[in-house]
Structure 1
């Protein structure tokens, strides 16, 4: 396994300065944003796409430092009911898949998107209750008319380009749990898998280790994010886990993101890493930092310290004791 970082943290640095910085910290892989919510500070689609000379120079800067690119990421909402927003997200995803293919990068990370509740809707509608029955009708329409048709086409496109799609299971989007990921994968094929982030499992009340087992049995983990979450039980009792309190109002939120090791201890992270290996995930653990209590520098450094102690670097080939 390799320790990586989602480089959106360092969007204020040039590509070269960012690469030098993360290598000095002991990072082995970078996940690069190509647009959408992450931005494209270190990977411009329009500059690199179909330009072999620029692509070679780009990859040399990364490979010469002993790094790999674990994924290209373009988190957006390609199913947004406002057509211009959906179009931009879809075009970015399409270009990102093409560029990943041209660069030999195996995974593209994004969100599943969330549609509205009818063709003329203005905003996404994320049903979170089975009753009143209106919500079930909305959910059925979204999956049958929007999600499955869109992702069937995109999965086929990705397979043609020898790229896997890692959907981040994130609240507010239609695919946000192991069950919804597997439902879409069953309908659209194995190119669809998870970019599994335990921080989003914890706040939904899902044990990440069990999520790894559920998805791992189906070989459905394409990429893995490392980010932590803390649950504030008194605020949860007040607001519930679907808390709409702004992220900035941390004292009153039911949960908030922490850097690795500050929501759950090293043993829990060790158990997650071990379970990933148990279910044959031997790729990159990519640090994502969204901790409102410490700087990027400090949070990134502490995440590395926690993860380095629990990473499995050398898997055995034979059980020599049996």
Structure 2
């Protein structure tokens, strides 16, 4: 496995500054955000699609630092019923177009989350038993069978037309696909082009064990984010893992994204990656750093150092 870097983690820097910083640490592969939840700080999607000189400039910059794009990331909610969903669907299809121009074969994104009925205006993440209230069962079936599966069947055909070979869905909360079971449900209903972008941090706050999840996902892991998470036990003991506070309110949250090693020690990470190798994944681990307890550069430097020790 090799280390890559998700550039949004240093969004305040220019792309050239990011490339200079990571290549100084012997990292020559990146995952590049194109839009969706990402503000796409390092590219202008429409400009790259419509201006050949801009595309050439990007390629020249990457060549200057000998850096390769291993994935484009357009994570968002393409199933949102409003303007946001329209925007994210547009970004997704344009990301496929850009991937073709750049020769990138892998797209990282999220499954999306629809509303609970055709009359709703807000996405609805159903996470409790559908036995009570029983209307939740109908809502969940609507989300999957009437919205998600039809959309994804059309979307993968568009992806294939642009040469995309893998669509790696992040197991993020507030998405229809958030674990191995839901990934299999969508993949089996749609197409094997769909696999998992395995991010252990999200599994941890949802109460799962990423090591055991990796065993379940043998052959289905298409990409990985290297990101740690710390459970704040005092808060959890009082308030549960269900968390609605702002992500920056680290002192009062039940859990926080942290630099690698600040949530789980390096032995845990070594075991995790050992199992990842065992189930056949030998591709890139893309560092994503969202630790709001320290400056971004510090978190990136700490995480790179830790991941290099683990992956050797």
Shorter-chain-normalised TM-score: which range?
over 0.9
- Whole-Å separation in 1 of the counterparts to 2:209 and 2:63: 36
- Whole-Å separation in 1 of the counterparts to 2:54 and 2:245: 44
- Whole-Å separation in 1 of the counterparts to 2:302 and 2:279: 27
- 1:48–1:99 Cα contact (<8 Å) kept: yes
Tell which deviates more after alignment, 244-253 or 302-311: 244-253
Whether 1:161 and 2:162 are equivalent positions in the alignment is yes
- Whole-Å separation in 1 of the counterparts to 2:10 and 2:69: 15
Q: Within 5 Å, give how 1:120-135 maps onto structure 2.
A: 120-130=119-129, 131-135=132-136
- 2:201–2:257 Cα contact (<8 Å) kept: yes
Match of 1:145 in 2: 146
Tell which deviates more after alignment, 302-311 or 114-123: 114-123
Q: Within 5 Å, give how 1:257-296 maps onto structure 2.
A: 257-296=257-296
The count of aligned residue pairs is 309
Tell which deviates more after alignment, 60-69 or 181-190: 60-69
Match of 1:315 in 2: none
2:217 counterpart SS class: helix
Match of 1:119 in 2: 118
Q: Give 1:246 deviation, angstroms.
A: 2.8
Tell which deviates more after alignment, 40-49 or 54-63: 54-63
Q: Give 1:50 deviation, angstroms.
A: 5.8
- Whole-Å separation in 1 of the counterparts to 2:223 and 2:43: 19
Q: Give 1:245 deviation, angstroms.
A: 2.9
- 1:193–1:221 Cα contact (<8 Å) kept: yes
CA deviations over 1:150-192 (Å, ceiling 9, x no partner): 1111122212322121111111111111111111111111111
Match of 1:317 in 2: none
- 1:158–1:191 Cα contact (<8 Å) kept: no
Match of 1:254 in 2: 254
Match of 2:182 in 1: 180
1:223 counterpart SS class: strand
Tell which deviates more after alignment, 149-158 or 234-243: 234-243
Q: Structure 2: which 5+ runs fail to align?
A: none
The partner residue of 1:171 within 170, 173, 176 is 173
Q: Give 1:98 deviation, angstroms.
A: 1.4
- 1:72–1:108 Cα contact (<8 Å) kept: yes
Tell which deviates more after alignment, 39-48 or 286-295: 39-48
CA deviations over 1:48-94 (Å, ceiling 9, x no partner): 22655543432232133222112111121111121x21111001000
Match of 1:31 in 2: 31
- Whole-Å separation in 2 of the counterparts to 1:253 and 1:17: 32
2:293 counterpart SS class: coil
CA deviations over 1:215-250 (Å, ceiling 9, x no partner): 12xx22111101111112232232222222332332
Tell which deviates more after alignment, 55-64 or 202-211: 55-64
- Whole-Å separation in 2 of the counterparts to 1:76 and 1:245: 20
Residues 63 and 268 of structure 1: CA distance in aligned 2, closer, same or farther (over 3 Å): farther
- 2:74–2:107 Cα contact (<8 Å) kept: yes
Tell which deviates more after alignment, 61-70 or 28-37: 61-70
Q: Within 5 Å, give how 1:11-30 maps onto structure 2.
A: 11-30=11-30
